[in-house]
Chain A
């Protein structure tokens, strides 16, 4: 009898344990968004899911040291693979919006939006500030991407496709990134341009990142000032996302070369906070990749025309100025 009772108790304990486990599984943490979080959205035409990723408070991204590179770990390979059949032909953007938030000194309705570069060498549009009422429309729409993902997540079980930092949502859903950013990528007509980048169809093999620059736009009076550049995101062919603080490097045009004895002076326009360095080779090295040429002197750009010098030890030398980070 005692044995039977013990068995019964054990069985009941196990049963309760099973119920608890089920309860915990049902209530696994779902997607969470807080106002002023940067939120990335990924989608593909004909895909079965959009992917929304919460990157954390935008203040963190504003505080990074210029030219520092941060890998966005909230974008996981598992969720990306579950959401998108390929990284080719993917539309993506990153944005944040400020409503009533005592942690920020910026005015209500300040927004952070991406400007897609057609390729990493070609600049995209420089977004402009706007009136409070104009930015309010986009702010509301950007805020909805994170908020609605939370609402959708609350109605779904937590799990690999619904975590505190990332969630998959069917694109036809009213809560989906696709629905809120709309077909034109302009936050359902509330923003002045297309904030989405589109990876090329050979993206996975071409080896170059898809790059979008993050701007902060604040309400101001007409005529409106240009937005403030915060940094840029690179969505890479391996599915990773990085953020680099400060402006992206641009293609460098050498404006002058002069010689002072054995010293060569290479002059070129710079972009503020971008790193530049001289690479050189002799005739024999011309057929080797530039990335293997020796590195000479370097500087950090300040927006003015600057020079790098090289002391020649051979009669013929070829130079390249490389922008880097």
Chain B
């Protein structure tokens, strides 16, 4: 009897050990951050899996490169041999990614790689993407591993109801409209008869492109804007719930009223190119903005200065698997960026700067 019990116990222990070994064999990697490179990052991840991507759960299954939330599973044989690798991605914005990487919170991910399962699981971020520096946020310690590998411009846009005469926005106008939340059209057109109110639409503070545009304009105050709700424009200060670019794009593209905003390049690609504004007299690209390929010469050579570096960040305590994965991701993204219409690989850029919004100088 006693022997039987011991035997059963040993069997259970053995099963437990086997299960433990199986669980330990899986590698879980949680990615969060700026959305501006979501297309090339998705393509890079698919490339890292190669033919061994077993399953993926996408928030936008019809157009995977635009998915804001997705979870993948399979093997990355070149990196981790036969181990199962689960990659969880939430393009939550740079802020939440840096906050989590510094040990100050979690980000929500799809718990399952089975398409359509929308249960969320909160987890600490392992690899963060950001278009601004760590010290652009209040989570400055511990200092994260930070590698820059590209440049992404911030693009200003208007809604269809904004008068055609408004085709440019200046640093001073950004400072004014971000402090007041709105401005008379005459402030842009110079025509005193243009009394239409132009509203400013804001993403939450977690959005790196908001920091880039504010810092570039020299705005240091509390950001104020408006959002469209139930048929009226409502004033808001430091919006905390506006965490999704599609919400912003919805307001700027639909005929709610005259409004202006800032967008990452991939989101700017979803609006009519004629509604893209120049900034201080320059566009970040030459010609008509395209979803296929763009000539970013004005950004590359320093005429257009509203841009940020693409960063990939990991915690200083990241384990060897995370470090290896981040290096492979960066390398793959940099390769894919060469053909991306939305960002510029760092080696192509002829200028540099030492901080977000800082002085742009020749390299």
Q: Do A and B come from one complex?
A: yes
B-contacting residues of A (Cβ < 8 Å)?
Answer: 35, 99-100, 108-109, 132-133, 136-137, 139-141, 143-144, 147-148, 151-152, 154-156, 174-175, 179-180, 187-188, 190
Name the residue of chain A whose CB is nearest to the CB of B99: A155
Q: Kindly state the separation between the CA atoms of A108 and B235 in the bound complex, as whole angstroms.
A: 10
Complex CA gap A179/B135 in Å reads: 15
Q: Which residues of A contact B183 (CB under 8 A)?
A: 133
A143 touching B138 by the CB < 8 A rule?
Answer: no
Nearest to B181 among chain A residues (CB) is A136
* Residues of the B chain whose Cβ atoms lie less than 8 Å from the Cβ of A154: 138
Contact A144 B180 (CB under 8 A): no
User: When A133-B176, A140-B178 are in contact, do A99 and B104 touch as well, CB less than 8 Å?
Assistant: no
Query: In whole angstroms, how far apart are the Cα atoms of A140 and B175 in the complex?
Result: 10
Contact A140 to B104, CB < 8 A, known contacts A152-B138, A179-B220: no
Q: Which residues of B contact A (CB under 8 A)?
A: 99, 104, 135-140, 175-176, 178-181, 183, 205, 220-224, 235-238
Q: Are B138 and A137 in contact (CB under 8 A)?
A: no
CB-based nearest B residue for A100: B235
- A151 vs B138: C-alpha distance when bound (angstroms): 7
Closest 4 CB pairs of A and B: A140-B221, A155-B138, A140-B179, A136-B180
Question: Residue among B176, B222, B235 with the most chain A CB within 10 A?
Answer: B222
Within the assembled complex, what's the spacing in Å between the Cα atoms of A132 and B221? 16
Given contacts A143-B221, A144-B222, A155-B138, contact A137 B176 (CB under 8 A): yes
* A188 nearest CB neighbor, chain B only: B220
Chain B: minimal CB distance from A267 (Å)? 49
- With beta carbons under 8 angstroms apart, the residue of B104, B137, B222 that contacts A141 is B222
- With A100-B235, A155-B138, A155-B140 known as contacts, the answer to whether A147 contacts B176 (CB < 8 A) is no
Q: Which residues of B contact A147 (CB under 8 A)?
A: 222, 238
| Complex Cα spacing A6 to B140, Å | 44
Contacts of A136 in B (CB 8 A): 176, 179-181, 224
Distance in angstroms between the alpha carbons of A152 and B139 in the assembled complex: 8
| Assembled-state Cα–Cα distance A108/B205 (Å) | 22
Minimum C-beta distance from A243 to chain B (A): 24
Q: Are B138 and A175 in contact (CB under 8 A)?
A: yes
Please state if B221 and A137 are interface contacts (CB–CB under 8 Å).
Answer: yes
B221 A190 Cβ-Cβ under 8 A: yes
Residues of A within 8 A of B180 (CB): 109, 132-133, 136-137, 140
CA A125 to CA B43, docked complex, whole Å: 62
Chain A residues within 8 Å of B136, by CB: 174
Measured CA separation A35–B238 after assembly (Å): 11
Chain A positions within 8 Å of B104 at CB level: 155
Residues of B within 8 A of A99 (CB): 222, 224, 235, 237
Q: How far is the CB of B128 from chain A (nearest CB, A)?
A: 16
A109 CA to B223 CA in the complex, in Å? 13
Give CA–CA (A18, B205) in the complex, Å.
35
- Known contacts A35-B237, A100-B236, A155-B138, then 20 further A-B pairs from the complex at CB < 8 Å, ordered by chain A residue: A99-B224, A99-B237, A132-B180, A136-B179, A136-B180, A139-B179, A140-B179, A141-B220, A143-B221, A143-B222, A147-B238, A155-B99, A155-B104, A155-B139, A155-B140, A174-B135, A179-B220, A188-B221, A190-B179, A190-B221
Closest to B138 in A: A155
Known A108-B235, A143-B237, A147-B238; judge A180-B220 contact (CB<8 A): yes
Cβ of A16 to closest chain B Cβ, rounded Å: 21
User: A152 to B137, alpha carbons, bound, how many Å?
Assistant: 9
Given contacts A132-B180, A190-B179, whether A141 and B237 have CB atoms under 8 Å apart is no
Query: What A residues does B178 contact at CB under 8 A?
Result: 140
Q: Which A residues are CB-close (under 8 A) to B179?
A: 136-137, 139-141, 190
Nearest CB of A to B186, in Å: 11
A214 to chain B, nearest CB (A): 20
CA of A179 to CA of B176 in the docked complex: distance in angstroms?
A: 18
Specify which chain A residues have a CB less than 8 angstroms from the CB of B221 in the assembled complex.
137, 140-141, 143-144, 180, 187-188, 190
A172 to B179, CA, bound (A): 22
Q: List 20 A-B contacts (CB under 8 A).
A: A35-B237, A99-B222, A100-B236, A100-B237, A133-B180, A136-B179, A139-B179, A140-B222, A141-B179, A141-B220, A144-B221, A144-B222, A155-B99, A155-B137, A155-B140, A174-B136, A180-B220, A187-B221, A188-B221, A190-B179
